[in-house]
Amino acid sequence: MNTSELKTAFQRDGFIVIEDFFDGTLMDRLDGLIRNYYGENPDFWHNDEFLSKAQTEVVPWFPQRECVHDFDAVEKYPGFADLTEAILGAEWVAQYCMVMFSKQGTAGQAWHQDCPPDDPTQHNLNRLVYTSDITDEIGGQTVVVPGSHKRGVLSFGDPVGEFEDQVVLRPKKGTLVLLHGHTWHRVLPITGSYRFSTNYRSAPKGTPDDITDVCVYRNMRYRFSTSSVIEERTA
């Protein structure tokens, strides 16, 4: 793993994909825990307004908050913290671990930025871990717009429309995806049984703890702590 080259690619594109980063045995163990927790038809966590406006149908789980310590193994995995420090700098902060589950027939996630880009220096880092393959048969592919973390606010428009320069990612078991919080991204609809990924969010030193409380969509800004739309975007 050439950390310097990965850092350069991340700074240019706003994301990097590293296949076979994690051991298969660890991925299988965490994958089993996730499947057992959710079952096949978990209830949605967000309210109806969010589900309809955001066109984002996911069910989050924060396993470490429930003392499920198996997920700590990822944070201790060789090279994981070192690569994070290379991207974020010294004294970076680990925020939380969040599993995102999408069930069959749901919309996935519309285009969004995980935090507002009003201040380019303030952002989170998504460290996405895939414990099973994301395939075209299942759906739920991650779509990103390279370099969009430098373009400012996500453009107004169709929440699920396509961009000419978008790239579709199909991570396999053991893949690590690092994604800048300002990068424009979405998740395609789920056509197979279900899909999930685990996000170990982190941030540079000095970043507010609530950096991801407000999410930017193409049609609104949404505050999760109050479950409310704080801006209807019309242009």
> How far apart (Å, rounded) are the C-alpha atoms in residues 142 and 88?
22
pTM summary value: 0.93
Average pLDDT value for residue range 211-230: 93
> How far apart (Å, rounded) are the C-alpha atoms in residues 57 and 71?
23
pLDDT band, very low/low/confident/very high, at 7 (cuts 50, 70, 90): very high
* CB 224 within 8 Å of CB 218: no
> How far apart (Å, rounded) are the C-alpha atoms in residues 143 and 163?
10
Q: What are the pLDDT digits (tens) for 87-104? A: 999 999 999 999 999 888
CB atoms within 10 A of CB 204: 18
> How far apart (Å, rounded) are the C-alpha atoms in residues 117 and 100?
23
Average pLDDT, the chain: 92
Please report the pLDDT score of residue 168 as a whole number: 98
Percent of the chain with pLDDT over 70: 93
Asked whether the predicted pLDDT for residue 46 surpasses 70, the reply is no
Residue 168 belongs to domain spanning: 3-232
Structural domains counted in the chain:
1
Contact residues for 40 (Cβ-Cβ < 8 A; gap 6+)? 103, 193, 194
Please report the pLDDT score of residue 165 as a whole number: 96
From 188, 139, 137, 199, select the one nearest 166 (Cα to Cα).
188
Q: What are the pLDDT digits (tens) for 22-33? A: 999 999 999 999
Q: What are the pLDDT digits (tens) for 220-229? A: 999 989 989 9
Average pLDDT value for residue range 189-196: 90
Q: Is 76 left (phi over 0), alpha (psi -120 to 50) or beta?
A: alpha
CB atoms within 10 A of CB 102: 24
* CB 16 within 8 Å of CB 177: yes
CATH code at position 76: 2.60.120.620
| SS3 state of residue 33 | helix
Q: For residues 205 and 39, which has the higher predicted lDDT (pLDDT)?
A: 205
Asked whether the predicted pLDDT for residue 50 surpasses 60, the reply is no
Asked whether the predicted pLDDT for residue 55 surpasses 60, the reply is no
pLDDT band, very low/low/confident/very high, at 59 (cuts 50, 70, 90): confident
Average pLDDT value for residue range 138-143: 96
Crossing angle, helix 80-88 and helix 3-13, to 10 degrees? 50
